[in-house]
Amino acid sequence: MALLENMRIFVRVVELGSLSAAGRNLRMSPAMVSHRIQQLEAHLGVRLLNRTTRQLQATETGMDFYQSCLEVLEAVERAHSSIAAGSGVPSGSVRVTAPLGFGRRILSPLVPDFCAAHPLVEVRLRLSDHLLDLLREAVDVAVRMAALKDSSFVVRKIADVRRVLVAAPSYLSERGRPSVPADLSGHNCLLLRFPGTQQYQWSVLEGGEPVKLPVSGRFDADDGDVLTGWALDGRGIAMKPLWEVAEHLASGALVPVLPEFPPEPVTLAVLYPHRALVPAKVRAFADHMVPKIKAALTAISPDTIV
Question: pLDDT tens for residues 17-63?
Answer: 888 888 887 888 989 999 999 999 999 999 999 987 667 889 999 99
Query: Averaged over 117-133, what is the pLDDT?
Result: 86
**182 and 61: one domain?**
no
Query: Averaged over 143-168, what is the pLDDT?
Result: 86
Where residue 9 sits, what CATH number does that domain have?
1.10.10.10
d(CA 223, CA 237): 15
Q: Which residue has the higher pLDDT, 147 or 23?
A: 23
Per-residue model confidence (pLDDT) at position 208: 84
Q: Indicate whether 306 belongs to any domain.
A: no
Sign, CA torsion 164/159/304/134: negative
**24 and 101: one domain?**
no
Per-residue model confidence (pLDDT) at position 74: 76
Identify the burial level of 233 via C-beta atoms within 10 angstroms of its C-beta, where 0-12 means exposed, 13-18 middle and 19 or more buried. exposed
Domain span holding position 254: 163-264
Q: How many CB atoms lie within 10 A of CB 255?
A: 17
**218 and 251: one domain?**
yes
Closest C-alpha among 49, 66, 69, 121 to residue 92: 121
Q: How many domains does the chain have?
A: 3
Per-residue model confidence (pLDDT) at position 84: 58
Would strands 220-221 and 189-192 be described as parallel, antiparallel, or unpaired?
A: parallel
**143 and 181: one domain?**
no
Chosen domain end from 33, 57, 84: 84
**232 and 104: one domain?**
no
Query: Averaged over 168-174, what is the pLDDT?
Result: 97
Give 249-303 as a DSSP string.
HHHTSSEEESTTSPBPPEEEEEEEE--SS--HHHHHHHHHHHHHHHHHHHHH-TT
Is the pLDDT at 222 greater than 90? The verdict is no
Q: Indicate whether 57 belongs to any domain.
A: yes
Q: How many CB atoms lie within 10 A of CB 142?
A: 23
pTM over cut 0.85? no
**275 and 128: one domain?**
yes
Question: 3-state DSSP call for residue 54?
Answer: coil
**140 and 195: one domain?**
no
**148 and 283: one domain?**
yes
